[in-house]
C-alpha cells in the first residue's frame, strides 16, 4: 500500500498495514547523529529526539517526546543503519519530574529487522505502569535494526517519554543515581500531598540537592513496585490517623511496611518522626543522616 511506503522510515515503522493510521512524524538527523527517531505523532513543542538527548530527567518540552492527544495507540521508535544487539532498555517515563503523569500505561517494546514485521519483546510488557524509572532486561540479547515501544493505553491524555537508553548486554550494570520514594498513606490517591515535604526536605540536605524522587500512593507501593529496576534507595511514608508504625502482623511482629524485603534484603527498615515545620534544622539533620546511612548501607550490599 503506497501510504506505507512513503519515506525511508515512514511506512516501515507504522503500526499496521492500513491507511487508517495517521502518518508518523519522524526526524532525519544529520550524518553525525544516530539512531534515527520516529513516532506515530508528536505533540506540539516536544521532540521526537527528546528521549535520545542524554538528559534523563529534564521535563522541558524540547527534551521529551509526547504523542498527540486522542491519537492512540501510540508508538515511538528508533532505527539503526545496521542491526545491533539489544539486551536492556532504560526508560524514563512521563512529563512530570516526581509523579507518574502523561506516561505510557500499557505497553510493550517490539523489534523488527525490516520495519514491517514486528515481534514483541515479552520481557518488556507492562500491563499497568506505576514507575517513573524502569529497566527492562531481555532473557537474551536480540539483534534488530528497528526498535519501538507500542503504547496501547496512556496514563493521562497522551504518553510522554523523557529518556530511552539501550545496552547490548542483558546483564549489564546500568548506572543510575540513588532515588527515593515518598508514599502517601491517605485514603484517597491524591498527589501531591505531604509526600512533597519529604522530597523538598531531602533536597535541602547537603549532597542530596538533586536527588530524584517519585511520589506514590500507598495502594501502588508494594513488592513489585520496589523489585523493578532501578531500585529505590529508600522510602518515606506519611503519617495518618492510624499510624502505620502501629499496624503489626501479629503479637511482637514488625510492622508490615518494615518487613518489606526483596530477595532477603530490607527495602524499608526504619521509622522516625520529623517535625518538618517546627524544627527545620533538626529535621534536615535527621533526613541527611538517614540518607547518608542508607547510601552507605546500600553500597555494602550489591544492588542492581
Q: Walk along the chain (304 residues) and give the pLDDT tens digit of each residue.
A: 222 222 223 223 333 322 222 333 333 333 333 579 999 999 999 999 999 999 999 999 999 999 999 999 999 999 999 999 999 999 999 999 999 999 999 999 999 999 999 999 999 999 999 999 999 999 999 999 999 999 999 999 999 999 999 999 999 999 999 999 999 988 788 888 888 989 999 999 999 999 999 999 999 999 899 999 999 998 888 865 444 444 444 554 444 444 444 455 544 444 555 655 666 788 888 889 889 988 887 654 444 4
Q: Domain for residue 174, yes or no? A: no
Which CATH number characterizes residue 37's domain? 2.60.120.260
Q: Domain for residue 172, yes or no? A: no
Judgement on whether residues 26 and 76 belong to the same structural domain of the protein: yes
Q: Domain for residue 173, yes or no? A: no
Q: Domain for residue 33, yes or no? A: yes
Judgement on whether residues 216 and 295 belong to the same structural domain of the protein: yes
Given 119, 140, 167, the domain boundary residue is 167
Q: Count how many Cα atoms sit within 13 Å of the Cα of residue 266 in the half-sphere of its side chain.
A: 15
CB 173 within 8 A of CB 143: no
Judgement on whether residues 158 and 269 belong to the same structural domain of the protein: no
C-alpha closest to that of 231 among 212, 247, 249, 246 = 212
Judgement on whether residues 147 and 28 belong to the same structural domain of the protein: yes
Q: What's the total number of domains in the chain?
A: 2
Judgement on whether residues 128 and 243 belong to the same structural domain of the protein: no
Judgement on whether residues 238 and 118 belong to the same structural domain of the protein: no
| pTM, to two decimals | 0.79
Q: Which three cell numbers stand for residue 200?
A: 523538598
Q: Domain for residue 88, yes or no? A: yes
Structural domain span for residue 286: 179-300
Q: Could you tell me which residues are beta bridge partners of residue 180?
A: 213, 234
Q: Give one word for 94, left, alpha or beta, with left for phi > 0 and alpha for psi -120 to 50.
A: left
Strands, E assignment, the chain: 25-27, 36-39, 65-66, 74-93, 103-112, 119-120, 133-155, 160-167, 179-184, 212-217, 234-237, 261-262, 265-266
C-alpha closest to that of 132 among 214, 190, 210, 61 = 214
Q: Domain for residue 17, yes or no? A: yes
Judgement on whether residues 53 and 139 belong to the same structural domain of the protein: yes
Q: Domain for residue 50, yes or no? A: yes
Alpha-carbon torsion (224, 230, 233, 236), positive or negative: negative
Given 142, 167, 192, the domain boundary residue is 167
C-alpha closest to that of 124 among 229, 32, 202 = 229
Amino acid at each position: 500500500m503506497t501510504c506505507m511506503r512513503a519515506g525511508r522510515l515512514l511506512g516501515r515503522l507504522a503500526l499496521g498495514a492500513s491507511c487508517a493510521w495517521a502518518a508518523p512524524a519522524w526526524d532525519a538527523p544529520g550524518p553525525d547523529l544516530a539512531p534515527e527517531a520516529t513516532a506515530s505523532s508528536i505533540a506540539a513543542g516536544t521532540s521526537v529526539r527528546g528521549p535520545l538527548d542524554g538528559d534523563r530527567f529534564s521535563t522541558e518540552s524540547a527534551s521529551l517526546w509526547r504523542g498527540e492527544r486522542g491519537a492512540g495507540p501510540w508508538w515511538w521508535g528508533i532505527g539503526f543503519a545496521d542491526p545491533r544487539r539489544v539486551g536492556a532498555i532504560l526508560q524514563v517515563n512521563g512529563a512530570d519530574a516526581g509523579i507518574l503523569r502523561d506516561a505510557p500505561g500499557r505497553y510493550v517494546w517490539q523489534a523488527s529487522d525490516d520495519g514491517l514485521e514486528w515481534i514483541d519483546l515479552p520481557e518488556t510488557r507492562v500491563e499497568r505502569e506505576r514507575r517513573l524509572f524502569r529497566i527492562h532486561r531481555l532473557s537474551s540479547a536480540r539483534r534488530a535494526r528497528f526498535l519501538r515501544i507500542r503504547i496501547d493505553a496512556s496514563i493521562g491524555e497522551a504518553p510522554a517519554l523523557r529518556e530511552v537508553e539501550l545496552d547490548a548486554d542483558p546483564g549489564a550494570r546500568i548506572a543510575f543515581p540513588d532515588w527515593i520514594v515518598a508514599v502517601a498513606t491517605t485514603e484517597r490517591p491524591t498527589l501531591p500531598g505531604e509526600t512533597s515535604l519529604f522530597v523538598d526536605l531531602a533536597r535541602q540536605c547537603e549532597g542530596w540537592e538533586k536527588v530524584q524522587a517519585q511520589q506514590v500512593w500507598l495502594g501502588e507501593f508494594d513488592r513489585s513496585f520496589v523489585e523493578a529496576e532501578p531500585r529505590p534507595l529508600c522510602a518515606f511514608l506519611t503519617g495518618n490517623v492510624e499510624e502505620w508504625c502501629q499496624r503489626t502482623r501479629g503479637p511482637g511482629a514488625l510492622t508490615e511496611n518494615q518487613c518489606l524485603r526483596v530477595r532477603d534484603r530490607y527495602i524499608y527498615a526504619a521509622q522516625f518522626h520529623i517535625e518538618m515545620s517546627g524544627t527545620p534544622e533538626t529535621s534536615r539533620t535527621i533526613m541527611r543522616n538517614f540518607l547518608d546511612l542508607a547510601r552507605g548501607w546500600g553500597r555494602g550490599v550489591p544492588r542492581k
